[in-house]
């Protein structure tokens, strides 16, 4: 038998095989970062594939850390509840382990979806000021992000921890 189809463990998480569905940004959450019916359909069909692990898309830990205005979030109880409903639906039909990729886009935040050009969105078009560890813009033609100070870095660290707790409460098996 190919090693690809043999069991594998990630710490205490036992996978039935070594096939992992990588995270794919869907840009399909509502304006508040809540999972939608799209997520139920998308994740549901992937969870029936026979892969060993499904990793959800990059999921923002705070609104300002979204890549686009339609990014999935896990920064609030409303986000947690919406994603929890999606996962409950998926789990009715699949026992595949589910993981989440927690993310903060930093200087790459506030961008249009790729099919809308992927460029930085100005505030007049629904964008927001970006933050990053330094004031270096993603592209030379874009405005510089606000450089985070120690308090800003701590706020984002805490947002990751809060999102990880939300992920655990809705039963995600793994956090990236």
So what's the pLDDT on residue 2?
86
pLDDT tens digit string along 89-144?
999 999 999 999 999 999 999 999 999 999 999 999 999 999 999 999 999 999 99
β partners of residue 100: 56, 175
pLDDT tens digit string along 134-164?
999 999 999 999 999 999 999 999 999 999 9
Give dist(CA 2, CA 19) in Å, integer: 12
Contacts of 81 (CB under 8 A, 6+ apart): none
pLDDT tens digit string along 38-69?
999 999 999 999 999 999 999 999 999 999 99
What's the pTM value of the predicted model, to 2 decimals?
Answer: 0.95
Give dist(CA 124, CA 108) in Å, integer: 18
Please tell me the chain's helix, strand, coil percentages from 3-state DSSP, rounded to the nearest 5.
35, 20, 50
Give dist(CA 12, CA 36) in Å, integer: 30
Q: Which long-range contacts (CB under 8 A, 24 or more apart) does 119-123 make?
A: 121/68, 121/69
In this predicted structure, the answer to whether residue 1 has a pLDDT above a threshold of 70 is no
Angle, CA of 19, 25 and 30, to the nearest 5°: 130
User: Residues 106, 66: contact at Cβ < 8 Å?
Assistant: no
């Amino acid at each position: 038998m190919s090693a690809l189809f043999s069991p594998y463990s990630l710490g205490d998480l036992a996978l039935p095989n070594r096939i992992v569905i990588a995270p794919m940004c869907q840009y399909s959450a509502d304006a508040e970062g809540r999972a939608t019916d799209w997520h139920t359909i998308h994740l549901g069909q992937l969870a029936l594939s026979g892969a060993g692990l499904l990793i959800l898309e990059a999921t923002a830990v705070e609104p300002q850390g979204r890549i686009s205005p339609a990014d999935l979030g896990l920064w609030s109880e409303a986000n947690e509840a919406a994603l929890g409903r999606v996962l409950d639906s998926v789990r009715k039909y699949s026992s595949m382990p589910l993981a989440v990729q927690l993310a903060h886009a930093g200087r790459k935040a506030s961008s249009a979806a790729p099919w809308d050009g992927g460029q930085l969105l100005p505030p007049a078009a629904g964008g927001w000021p970006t933050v990053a560890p330094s004031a270096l813009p993603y592209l030379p033609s874009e405005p510089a992000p606000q450089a985070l100070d120690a308090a800003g870095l701590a706020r984002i660290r805490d947002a990751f921890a809060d999102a990880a707790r939300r992920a655990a409460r809705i039963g995600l098996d793994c956090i990236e």
